[in-house]
A and B are shown apart, each in its own frame.
Chain A
Amino acid sequence: MTKLTNLTIAQARDKMAKGEFTALELTEAHITAMQAKRSLGAYITETAEQAREEAKASDLRRQAGQIGALEGIPLGIKDLFCTKGVQTTAASHILEGFKPPYESTVSGKLKAAGSVMLGKLNLDEFAMGSSNMTSYYGKVVNPWKSKSDPAKLLVPGGSSGGSAAAVAARIAMGATGTDTGGSIRQPAAFCGITGIKPTYGRCSRWGIVAFASSLDQAGPMARDVRDCAIMLGSMAGHDAKDSTSAPLPVPNFEAALTGDIRGLKVGIPKEYRPDGLSDEILRVWEQGIEWLKAAGATPVEISLPHTKYALPTYYIVAPAEASSNLARYDGLRFGQRVEGKTLDDMYKKSRAAGFGSEVRRRIMIGTYVLSAGYYDAYYSKAQKVRRLIAEDFTKAFQDVDVILTPTAPSAAFGMDENTDDPVTMWLNDVFTIPTSLAGLPGLSLPAGLNADGLPLGLQLIGRPFDEETVFKVAGVMESAANFTALPEGV
């Protein structure tokens, strides 16, 4: 029999329906695996006891004929989602010990669908990073090893690095992620799993610790396209508590996986070939185009002329919003406090002690670009360029149905690489940030291995609220790619 931890969500769902095993057995297998792989640092908080109780309750519901879409499926929740009564840190010291008195809409919907929470997953502090090295609670290790240097510790990507590592290492069947500039897609690519950032507004942001509110979006990370479609179906939907949540019905995403993409036009943006892009990435991209052609789709070269300005635009808009959102950490209402002589002194000392260096840097940039005298030159300018970037996509989607690009410019890198200069680290998100600025759905799936045996991802971008086409094309690519490689120890 296949190990329970190696099943996909869809397989486990169907087997539990046939009575082959219980939710409690499935959960126990994952708790054992989670505890055996603590060296990955994927979880900040494990909730094994609670998971067992939830699994027992799920088995009782099943006996009573109440079967949710994710009934009895053990999931990990990124530690950016508030979970009632369970510590929620955003991987920051400043929120250490914070136990939300409420549940985020998305994690609540997953619970309502019958899922079981295994614990809270590690991330970059306040979701700011592409390596999961800025967490106060320790780095996350990518379960994949490079062939040429197996001893080298690789990053899982970020910010949803704990989520990606957990799904890849089979210590969660699926996980929630959030994506502000690539935080679901880049770690999914680095860890050889599938993840989708849905259209901005598809999932409620209520109860998710805010980073950049005009960009943040929750999404699923799982072993394959179908599992992402199943999870997103339970996570999405209008929520009156988030004013930017879209009042649209949730389609049956799983039903979109028809396998038929004949006649679809696939945009290939010519600007996504920056100087120095590795041959390995180009080759896997070319391979992806060939797969789609073979399935009856037509590749079309498109132009997204403002692509090179997406990164500088993002690094004004996102820090500006972050500096406003993170003003709430004042040592007063929740989180860590360092006493001071005056109120201002208490604020400054609490925030100095509570924030790590990347978060501090971004708050300061954001504060500067919003400050009197610089607002127009930086913030307002970036908002205008953002519109041009979004319009590039609107124009392109007049001619094509979906866009195919690489997810990241490289495979997972070593923990000691890319750390000297913040701007170099940010280049990881060069292919994912434009989609975020335009609010479009973007999915990353594993497409192959590089020479070192590490996964490489491809990204599919869709029209607003057309995740169905993205899933449909992704399903076809997944079958063609037949990505069966596994990380060490799985």
Chain B
Amino acid sequence: MSLDKKAVRAIAELARIEIPDEDLDHLAGELSGILQFVEQLAEVDTTGIAPMSSVADLTLPLRKDEVTDGGQVAAVLANAPDADDGFFTVPKVVE
């Protein structure tokens, strides 16, 4: 798979990373090179093999449904670049 500028722009949009137009060509080359490298997996026969998402052979442990933490508004907001009156702030999202 070889990616063009348009494809790179679409991926950047999905990843929410602004990329200057002058970087697109270079990135397209790099990402295409990486995809060509990983595409050698196509030669492996994986018929009937289940995907492996984790090596931990565990069933997801469940704990009691009870409150164990909370009430720490100041600690939660302490690292926010902009907080106001107990809330995170964002640019206006509703016109």
Contact = CB atoms under 8 A, between A and B. Distances in A.
Interface of A: 97-101, 200-201, 214, 240, 243-244, 246-247, 306, 309, 311-313, 315-316, 323, 327, 330-337, 339-349, 351-352, 355, 360-361, 363-365, 367-368, 371, 378, 380-388, 390, 421-423, 437-439, 464
Contact of A388 (B46, B72, B88): B46
Given A98-B79, A315-B34, A383-B53, A367 B14 contact: yes
Contact of B14 (A316, A333, A371, A422): A371
A99 to B, nearest CB: 7
Contacts of B67: none
Contacts of B63: 240
Contact of A381 (B18, B41, B75, B90): B41
A388 B44 contact: yes
B55 A422 contact: no
A385 B34 CA distance: 18
B78 A244 contact: no
Interface string B36-51: 0111111010100111
Nearest to A383: B51
27 contacts: A201-B55, A201-B56, A214-B53, A243-B61, A309-B40, A309-B41, A309-B44, A312-B39, A312-B40, A313-B41, A323-B15, A333-B88, A337-B82, A341-B91, A349-B18, A351-B15, A351-B18, A363-B17, A364-B15, A367-B11, A367-B14, A384-B44, A384-B50, A384-B51, A385-B46, A387-B49, A387-B52
Contacts of A240: 61, 63
B44 A385 contact: yes
A371 B11 contact: yes
A136 to B, nearest CB: 16
Contact of B33 (A382, A383, A423): A423
Contact of B81 (A332, A385, A390): A332
A243 B60 contact: yes
A423 B34 contact: yes
Contacts of A101: 72, 75-76, 78-79
Given A246-B56, A334-B80, A385 B41 contact: yes
B38 to A, nearest CB: 4
Contacts of B80: 332-334
Given A200-B55, A200-B56, A347-B16, A423 B42 contact: no
Contacts of B19: 352
Contacts of A313: 38, 41
Contacts of A323: 15
Given A315-B34, A342-B91, A343-B90, A364 B55 contact: no
Contacts of A383: 51-53
A437 B53 CA distance: 10
Interface in B1-47: 3, 8, 11-12, 14-19, 27, 30-31, 33-35, 37-42, 44, 46
A349 B19 CA distance: 9
Chain A contact residues, majority secondary structure: helix
Contacts of B91: 339-343, 345-346
Contact of A361 (B31, B40, B54): B31
Contact of B27 (A244, A364, A421): A364
Contacts of B76: 101
A390 B55 contact: yes
Contacts of B79: 97-101, 333-335
Contacts of A327: 16
A160 to B, nearest CB: 21
Contacts, number: 160
A344 B38 contact: no
Contacts of A346: 90-91
A374 to B, nearest CB: 8
Contacts of A355: 17
A332 B88 contact: yes
Given A306-B44, A341-B91, A348-B16, A214 B55 contact: yes
Nearest to B55: A439
Q: Which 6 A-B pairs have the closest CB atoms?
A: A439-B55, A383-B51, A337-B81, A334-B79, A384-B46, A387-B52
A356 to B, nearest CB: 12
A388 B50 CA distance: 10
A340 B63 CA distance: 41
Contacts of B42: 381
A243 B52 CA distance: 17
Given A313-B41, A351-B15, A368-B31, 19 more contacts: A97-B79, A200-B55, A214-B55, A243-B60, A243-B61, A247-B61, A312-B37, A332-B81, A344-B16, A346-B90, A347-B16, A349-B18, A351-B16, A361-B27, A364-B27, A371-B14, A381-B42, A384-B44, A384-B46
B89 to A, nearest CB: 8
A243 B53 CA distance: 14
Contacts of A378: 38
Nearest to B54: A214
Contacts of A352: 17-19
A201 B51 CA distance: 20
A381 B46 contact: yes
